[in-house]
Structure 1
Amino acid sequence: MYSPAFPHQDIQELFPDVFWVHGSVRVGPGMRLNRNMLILREGRELTLVNPIRLSDAGLVDLDALGDVARVVRLGDFHGADDQFYVDRYQCLFWAQAGQSNYPEPGIDVLVDEASPGPVKHSEFFVFHNARYPESALLLHRSRLLITTDSLQYHKEWTHFSPVSKLAFRFLGFHRGMNIGAPWLKRVTPKGGSMQHDFERLIELDFDALVGAHGQVLRMGAKAAVRTEVRNLFGLEAEI
């Protein structure tokens, strides 16, 4: 049985052939928060990244953009709507090995740093030290980094219920760039650290960022991530 379609905004173009949907999800009684999907277009082919199920009207708009050819899952903790799209469009499913929270659909194309990106001029970044699969996708033409839970930019709290706002503040989320605290706690190896992964990520050439939650940061994302990494890991020197 598929998850329902929750309220979402219309498909909007971020960069040439890069679109996003700012939507929502209910995670428990009184708990609602936002969620984002990216749509990449190359010719007539569409790639859905961090999929969220669209309403019937949203699906009409999606079909008007092109033909869904692949679904890309970047994080193990997201994936509730992947099967819906794979079944609807009979498209390919891309993900890292070891998916546990949503073991279906079966993986057609394995994601790793040796894999070509799903569209031209793109590449995957993999968090090597994470206990659960997590990656990011860099689009070189737009210098856009697409993440899931690892990095989230929160400008405001659209689609958040009052209870969710309080919960997020309690968990340490703030306005601006965030390394997701619940995600970090779950993926950090016992006695280990994710610091090196974030130091590698900062070496990528990006200026914009959008995660599976929050809003789009169109400029200055790399500097914001650098500051968050330095603050979180207590680093004195510039990285």
Structure 2
Amino acid sequence: MNQSNPNAFPPALAHGTIEEVFTDVFCISGAMETVLMDMDWRFSRNMTVVRDGDRLILINTVRLNDEGLAQLERLGTVTDVIRLGALHGRDDAFYLDRYQASYWVMPGIKTEPEHGARPLEPTSTLPIGDASLFAFETSKIPEGILHLQRDGGILIACDALQNWLTPDEHFCDSSRERMETMGFFTPANVGPVWHQVAEPKAEDFHRLKALEFKHALCGHGEPVRNNAREAFGATFDRLFQQAD
């Protein structure tokens, strides 16, 4: 583990504690601060941690404070970081540096050469034994979803799938107001900004709906338990019915 230069990376923002949502699958919610359209935004985002033996694989990284890192390290050893979406990645470099982890990235996402990124493709041998990758083929920006073959099927998504039900403690008032009008707080949703930027076609969602899964853990919002395939399937039908 390398702890030589933590100040070289974006700082840790407010976050909660790590919670085990399924056996050996953990989630933590934290804040994101950014500037978009010349406006300041603050909202929540999620990191998922999958434990495979004593190895930890981080998806949609959120930098943790010292207390959070200690909790993480009690779970196992961080060996891999997975980047599923083009619009995330703020905290990947911190974990790559601290743990000298392997980096798995969707093709088309630019990374620093020193990170030695490995291609994250449906044909890749992934660092999670029971996982496969679903890759969007029609979107204008790279995006993937991990499909875990456990507990009836678990999807781990980035921005394409979201499940923000209400604003949480990580939202500022202006972001909450803007995002309410933009339709972000919709159960089992396709991410509104991602949808606008990526312009995916209906056929990707037909393929996604055909997968067997009961649950979904998204980059934003609450876990969807037990009825994820039905809930997201209804959203896909609503959003893409004109394209069928």
The alignment's TM-score, normalised by the length of structure 1, stands at 0.91
Unaligned runs of at least 5 residues, structure 2: 1-7
- Residue 8 of structure 1: CA displacement? 0.8
Q: How do 1:81-230 residues align onto structure 2 when only pairs under 5 Å count?
A: 81-100=91-110, 106-142=115-151, 143-158=153-168, 159-188=170-199, 193-230=200-237
Q: 1:225 to 1:235 in 2, by over 3 A?
A: farther
**Judging changes above 3 Å, is the alpha-carbon distance between structure 1 residues 131 and 125 closer, same or farther for their aligned structure 2 residues?**
same
Conserved 8 A contact 1:30-1:161: no
Structure 2: distance between partners of 1:206 and 1:120: 17
Q: For residues 123 and 212 of structure 1, what CA distance do their matches in structure 2 show?
A: 18
Structure 2 counterpart of 1:27, one-letter code: T
Deviation digits for residues 138-157 of structure 1, max 9, x if unmatched?
A: 11113110111101012221
> Residue type of the partner of 1:25?
M
What 5-or-longer segments of structure 1 have no aligned partner?
none
Contact preservation (8 Å) 1:97, 1:133: yes
Give the partner amino acid of 1:207. Answer: K
SS state of the match for residue 38, structure 1?
Answer: strand
User: What is the CA–CA distance in structure 1 between the aligned matches of 2:116 and 2:196, rounded to whole Å?
Assistant: 26
Counterparts of 1:98 and 1:106, CA distance in 2? 15
- Count of residue pairs brought into register by the alignment: 232
1:236 deviates by: 9.8
Q: What amino acid does structure 2 have at the position aligned with 1:36?
A: N
Of 163-172 and 141-150, the range deviating more from structure 2: 163-172
- AA of the residue aligned to 1:33: F
Match of 2:20 in 1: 13
Measure how far apart 1:59 and its partner are.
Answer: 0.4
Q: Report whether the alignment pairs 1:42 with 2:52.
A: yes
Larger fraction in helix: 2
Per-residue CA deviations over 1:74-131 (Å, capped at 9, x if unaligned) read: 001100100000000011000112114x656634321111113321111100001111
* Letter aligned with residue 211 of structure 2: L
Greater mean alpha carbon deviation, residues 87-96 or residues 27-36:
27-36
Q: Which moved more, 1:8-17 or 1:30-39?
A: 30-39
Output the CA distance in 2 between the equivalents of 1:148 and 1:172. 18
**1:54 maps to what in 2?**
64
- SS of the counterpart of 2:34? strand
Where does residue 78 of structure 1 map in the other structure? 88
| One-letter identity of the residue aligned with 1:108 | A
TM-score normalized with structure 2 length? 0.89
- Is 1:68 the counterpart of 2:78? The answer is yes
**Cα gap change, 1:103 to 1:195, in 2 (>3 Å):** farther
Instruction: Indicate if the aligned counterparts of 1:24 and 1:34 stay in contact, CA closer than 8 A.
Output: yes
* Structure 1 residues 107 and 151: alpha-carbon distance in aligned structure 2, compared to 1, 3 A threshold: farther
Asked whether the 8 Å contact 1:230–1:236 carries over to 2, the reply is no
